[in-house]
Chain A
Amino acid sequence: MSVAVKLLITFLVFAGVAIAIFIVIAVSTKLPPRDQREVQRRGYAIRGWWFMGLFLFVIAAFAASIPFYPYMSATAALAPARKVPVIAEQYAFIMPSHLPVNTPIIFEVTSRDVNHDFGIYNPQGHLMAQVQAMPDYTNYLRVVFQEPGQYSARCLEYCGIGHAIMAKTFTVGGK
């Protein structure tokens, strides 16, 4: 199961809980009405807990996500790696067709014309890494392919009417 499918399940769980709360509150209107001041007195107490809980949750989530940021640290940039230039242009990627397995690779991604996006799909078709390809700039994307097979790169930033055909397949290992 890909990361994105796990995210979909997470989303459905959170959304389901939220919808269930809304349904319960909607159904409560069928019960005998309560005085607004009484509802507010209890509601404000719950809101305080909700605010604190959510605040702590988002701060914890933020802190937990930082180690997984895809940006290269200075240490990683200096570590031995194979440099692979990738030039994007309407509507093709200019890059090698074969890459090594289990080898750190730093893609040096740029564009000759407009903004593109260099999205790498693994042999199972899951989107495993991506970076923007911009004119006048070079973005560095570090990837280690741990599985041999046929990968593909797709453009993920709209770049003109040929956007959907802008793709390149490449093999990892096995050469």
Chain B
Amino acid sequence: MIITSDKTGRRVMNLYMGTGLALTALMMLAGLMLRVSQAGWMPMSPGQFYAVLTLHGAGLIVALMMCGMGGLWFLMRRETSLSASTAVAAFSLVVAGVAGVLISTLFGGFAGLYTFLAPLPFHGSWPNWSTGVFLISMALITLGWMAWCLQMLGAVLRAYGGLRGALAWDFVWHRQAFDASGRTAPPPQAFPALMAGFDGMLAGMSAMLLGVALIVRWMDTRVLINPLWAKNLTYFFAHTYANLIIYMLVALIYVGMPYATGRKYHTSAVLAVGWWCSMVLTLTNYFHHLYMDFVQPGPFQYLGELSSYLSALPVTAVTIFGALMLVWRSGMKWTLGAIFMYTGLIGWVVGGIGAEIDATVPFNVHLHNTLWVPAHFHTYLVGGCLLFAIGWVFLCVESRSQRRTGSLMRWLISLLTFGGMSVFLMGFYCAGAYGVPRRYSIEPSPGPDLAKIATIGATIMMIGFVVALLEGVRLRFGYPDQTAGGQSVQEARA
């Protein structure tokens, strides 16, 4: 069953996902302003543009991360012991950090971007206090993230018998003895939980290491920070965060798609090994961000490409293939929840193709830091992660509502959302292929023309999301009074 009678668990999930989705909506509006400005329709000054870009990048990453944290926490609370108060404390730290980012960018004009690549934060035209507020705010967000990771990691290790049990090591290598002992393997969603906890802690520690170094530099200008060291740490934590957002939300697929298709999804040896690979490869992929740093030790460049390529194997052969097998000839009802989740898989795959092309060193020469980069990550963040989160919310609402969405409404929402999104994303891809640099407040040709087309697409996409929101509210008001407490409509009818 998709929803439980655990009201506290639902409230914590709603807190995280509601805040995450609201923040996502705000950041999408900020992104739309940036594209409108690049189109030349309502130009912002460079200072305003880059402050909003900083807010947009940091805000969207944190917003989607909150969706993943809330969704995965809710799923794992059904399987393990997770304290709601710890989760709320972690949430509070993240929200405090987000408030600080808003203050530093909107009021302080901090425009060092969400990557705050050292030593840029100390060479800007913005006031010194805004740099400090931004860095401390990002540290608060990281502390909240690490508290969540620690809680999740502890819960998973306790529930499944340490790291060996959580990895399903004996389930994979000593299957007969494992079965004979009467033990069961962790459920599929426990693997992203373990990965988020473990890799997330490593990423958080590197972010804190860098963050503390930068805060010390902010306090004392005599402190020197090696730019290559800082760049490696920056991309290690930023890349890992971005990837973990996807993997956390994938847990929703493991529960949502079986529910939508009426089929079962079990842990298998292939699934376990696939997640082991993802846990490792996610940590070594980040080297592809430094291909154009020729002073980076050569073996890391080779490792970056090979690791990026290999990470496609567990993703496509395990999770996506498994989801497609669930759907194939299942007779699945295409509710909005199912549509969003399934389309999210497409966004993940298509964004992954764009990423793999960019992760090829000789191609990276022509694409690095062009608009191809935001093209691919917007594809899997907006076209993948966001759709997983929205799909999950719709599945939850649909499972409890007595109302149903009509065919015409489903088509309307799909056409507006996915049609607009395709146009919006193609604006990025085409501009990237024509060498238009990313992060330009005023773009060279054909950037402005493509930005106009992309703006129209983004507007249509956002209208689609608004219509979906209204439909979600309509479904929400269709809950039967007598089924309070988390029972689904099906349960109540039974």
B244 located at the interface, meaning its Cβ lies under 8 Å from any Cβ of chain A in the complex: no
B264 located at the interface, meaning its Cβ lies under 8 Å from any Cβ of chain A in the complex: yes
Residue among A34, A39, A164 with the most chain B CB within 10 A?
Answer: A164
Of B228, B342, B366, the residue contacting A3 (CB under 8 A) is: B366
Which residue of B is nearest A34, CB measured?
B329
Chain B's nearest CB lies how many Å from the CB of A39? 6
Whether B361 lies near A70 (C-beta < 8 A) is yes
Whether A4 lies near B317 (C-beta < 8 A) is no
B485 located at the interface, meaning its Cβ lies under 8 Å from any Cβ of chain A in the complex: no
A55 located at the interface, meaning its Cβ lies under 8 Å from any Cβ of chain B in the complex: yes
Q: Mark B404-428, 1 if CB is under 8 A from A, else 0.
A: 0000000000000000000000000
Of B123, B325, B342, the residue contacting A40 (CB under 8 A) is: B325
Whether A61 lies near B309 (C-beta < 8 A) is yes
B332 located at the interface, meaning its Cβ lies under 8 Å from any Cβ of chain A in the complex: yes
Which residue of A is nearest B429, CB measured?
A8
Of B47, B316, B321, the residue contacting A43 (CB under 8 A) is: B321
Residues of B close to A164: CB separation below 8 A: 46, 437, 440-443
A71 located at the interface, meaning its Cβ lies under 8 Å from any Cβ of chain B in the complex: yes
A75 located at the interface, meaning its Cβ lies under 8 Å from any Cβ of chain B in the complex: no
Q: B-side interface residues toward A, CB under 8 Å?
A: 46-47, 49-50, 111, 113, 117, 119-120, 123-125, 226-228, 231, 263-264, 270, 292-295, 298, 301-302, 305-306, 309-310, 312-313, 316-317, 321, 324-325, 327-332, 334, 342, 345-346, 349-350, 353-354, 357, 360-363, 365-370, 372, 429-430, 432-435, 437-445
Residues of A close to B332: CB separation below 8 A: 29
Assuming the A-B contacts A15-B353, A39-B328, are A54 and B317 also in contact, with contact meaning beta carbons closer than 8 angstroms in the complex? yes
Whether B321 lies near A22 (C-beta < 8 A) is no
Whether A115 lies near B120 (C-beta < 8 A) is yes
Whether A71 lies near B301 (C-beta < 8 A) is yes
Assuming the A-B contacts A18-B349, A115-B117, are A58 and B362 also in contact, with contact meaning beta carbons closer than 8 angstroms in the complex? no
Residues of A close to B350: CB separation below 8 A: 15, 18-19
Q: A-side interface residues toward B, CB under 8 Å?
A: 2-5, 7-8, 10-11, 14-15, 18-19, 21-22, 25-26, 28-29, 31-34, 36, 39-40, 43, 47, 50-51, 54-55, 58-59, 61-62, 65-66, 68-72, 90, 113-115, 117, 119, 121, 125-132, 134-141, 154-165
Residues of B close to A128: CB separation below 8 A: 366
Whether B435 lies near A121 (C-beta < 8 A) is yes
Assuming the A-B contacts A134-B295, A139-B293, are A127 and B366 also in contact, with contact meaning beta carbons closer than 8 angstroms in the complex? yes
Whether B328 lies near A127 (C-beta < 8 A) is no
Whether A18 lies near B346 (C-beta < 8 A) is yes
Q: Could you list 30 examples of A-B contacts with CB < 8 Å?
A: A4-B434, A15-B354, A18-B350, A22-B342, A25-B324, A28-B327, A28-B328, A29-B329, A33-B331, A39-B330, A43-B325, A54-B316, A58-B310, A58-B313, A59-B309, A65-B360, A65-B362, A68-B361, A114-B123, A115-B120, A119-B369, A125-B434, A127-B366, A130-B365, A131-B292, A131-B294, A140-B294, A158-B50, A160-B111, A164-B442
Of A4, A10, A72, A155, the residue contacting B366 (CB under 8 A) is: A4
Which residue of A is nearest B376, CB measured?
A11
Chain A's nearest CB lies how many Å from the CB of B189? 19
Of A7, A21, A40, A132, the residue contacting B433 (CB under 8 A) is: A7
Whether A7 lies near B363 (C-beta < 8 A) is yes
Whether A130 lies near B368 (C-beta < 8 A) is yes
Chain A's nearest CB lies how many Å from the CB of B78? 23
Assuming the A-B contacts A5-B433, A65-B362, A69-B362, are A160 and B124 also in contact, with contact meaning beta carbons closer than 8 angstroms in the complex? yes
Which residue of B is nearest A5, CB measured?
B433
Which residue of B is nearest A29, CB measured?
B332
Q: In the docked arrangement, what's the CA distance between A92 and B89, Å? A: 46
Whether A7 lies near B357 (C-beta < 8 A) is yes
Q: In the docked arrangement, what's the CA distance between A38 and B283, Å? A: 37
Of A14, A69, A125, the residue contacting B301 (CB under 8 A) is: A69
Assuming the A-B contacts A11-B357, A90-B123, are A33 and B362 also in contact, with contact meaning beta carbons closer than 8 angstroms in the complex? no
Residues of A close to B301: CB separation below 8 A: 69, 71
Residues of B close to A113: CB separation below 8 A: 119, 123
Residue among A10, A55, A119, A121 with the most chain B CB within 10 A?
Answer: A119
Which residue of A is nearest B54, CB measured?
A158
Chain B's nearest CB lies how many Å from the CB of A104? 16
Of A36, A47, A54, A121, the residue contacting B312 (CB under 8 A) is: A54
Q: In the docked arrangement, what's the CA distance between A39 and B328, Å? A: 8
Which residue of A is nearest B346, CB measured?
A22
Of A2, A33, A47, the residue contacting B321 (CB under 8 A) is: A47
Chain A's nearest CB lies how many Å from the CB of B207? 18
Chain A's nearest CB lies how many Å from the CB of B317? 4
Residue among B346, B369, B429 with the most chain A CB within 10 A?
Answer: B369
What 10 A-B pairs are tightest by C-beta distance, nearest first? Answer: A8-B433, A68-B362, A33-B331, A127-B435, A58-B309, A34-B329, A156-B369, A164-B440, A43-B325, A161-B46
Chain B's nearest CB lies how many Å from the CB of A7? 6
